[in-house]
Amino acid sequence: MAFTTLILDAPGPPLLFEEVDRFLELGLVVTLNLYYFTDKNSIRKHYGERIRYTEINGHDRQAFIDAVTEAGGYSVFKTRLNIPIESKLIRAAASPTLPTPLRAIAQAGSGVNHIDRQEAERCGVTILNTPASNAVAVAEYVVAQTLCLSRDLDHYNAETHSGRWSKGTLAPGLEFCELTLGVVGTGSIAQEVARKAGSLGIRVIATGSERFTEQVARSLGLERRETLEQLLGEADVVSIHVPLTPLTRGLFGLTEFRQMRQGSILINTARGDIVDEAQLASFMTAFPRHIKAVAIDTFAQEKDRFNSPLAGIRNAQLTPHIAGNTTKAIRKASRQIVDKIHALSLATDVH
C-alpha cells in the first residue's frame, strides 16, 4: 500500500515548488489539488508525471468525499487554508474498505479548529500541525495595526486622497510609551506580540487560563490581570490570542465591548467565532466613538463563504486571514509539515 499525500491547498509558485520539491526529495508520493490555482497548465508543465493531480472544491463536502473515494483514498490530507475537514469526510476517507485509508490530517499552521478532532480520534486519524511557525508574522501584524489604528493613519490617508487637509480634525494620537496593550491568551503568538510591543516601549498586560499564574506571568515578563474585565478596563489596545473552544466561542460580545475603554482598539488574529461579529457591528454603529477601531483578520465565515456584518462598518479594518502570511512563515510551516508527514510515513512503514 502506497503512502500518498493529497495537497489540498498550497501557496502559489515559487513557494509551491519548494513544498512539492521537498515532498519529492523525501520520496513521498504526492497528489496536488489544482482547484485553487489559476495557472494550472504551468504547474502541470513544471512537474509533468512526477506528481499526480486532481481538482477538488474542498468546501463542497460531497464532491470532496466522492473524489477521495474514486481515487482509492489518501494517507494524508495536507492543508493550510482551513478547509473544513468534517466528520462525514473523515469517516469516508478513513474507511478500511479503501485501498489507502486516511492516516493523518496535516495543517501547515497552528490552528486545527476546522478539523473534527473527535471524529479523527475515533477513526484513528492523527492530526499534525506546526505550532508557532507563524508567530513572528502574526505578532508583526498586531504591532503594525496598533501603530496604524492608534495614529488614525487610514483616516488621514483617505482624507488626503479626497483632497482634504484634515490635520487637527481628530485628537492627537498616543506615542507607544503611552499605550497599554492587553493580550488575551498567553501562547507562543501572544508571547511574541508582548516581546515586540515591549521592545517599542508599549506596556503589556495579559490574561489567560487558570494555568497563567503570577509565577508563570513573572517567568514570561508579563503583567498579569486575573480577569478579562480587568484587562479590558485598562487596555488601550486589546489583541486576542486564544484558541477557539466551547469556552472561548463568543468570548467577545456586547458585555465585553462595553467593558472596553472609551477610544480603545480591538484586534483579532485568532479565530472568527471568538468575536461575535454581528454584536460588534451593532455596537460600533450604535456607539461609534466607544471603540476607536477594530482590525479583524479572522471571521466566522471565510473564503468562498465570507459574509461578515462588519463589512462597511466605519473604522473596521478587515483583512482576509493574512496576519501570518509572510514568505518566511509560509516557508517555515511548509517545511515543518512536510517533515512531519515524512516522519509519519517512516513510522507507518515500521509498523
Cite the active site residues: 271, 302, 321
Is residue 305 within 8 A of residue 272, CB to CB? The reply is: no
The sign of the dihedral angle between the CA atoms of 280, 193, 223, 216 is positive
C-alpha 340/C-alpha 30 separation (Å) is 15
**Phi (first) and psi of residue 341, to 5 degrees:** -65, -40
What is the spatial order of strands in the sheet that 52-54 belongs to? 52-54, 29-33, 4-7, 76-79, 104-107, 126-128
C-alpha 244/C-alpha 110 separation (Å) is 12
The DSSP letter of residue 312 is: T
Q: From residue 63, give the alpha-carbon distance in Å to each of 58, 86, 209.
A: 8, 13, 40
Q: Dig out the grid coordinates for 229 from the structure.
A: 474585565
Give the DSSP H or E segment for 343: helix 327-350
C-alpha 5/C-alpha 159 separation (Å) is 50
Q: Dig out the grid coordinates for 41 from the structure.
A: 497548465
Q: Helix (H, G, I), strand (E, B), or coil: what is residue 224?
A: strand
Return the amino acid letter for 43: I
C-alpha 252/C-alpha 265 separation (Å) is 13
Is residue 270 within 8 A of residue 298, CB to CB? The reply is: yes
The sign of the dihedral angle between the CA atoms of 46, 48, 50, 51 is positive
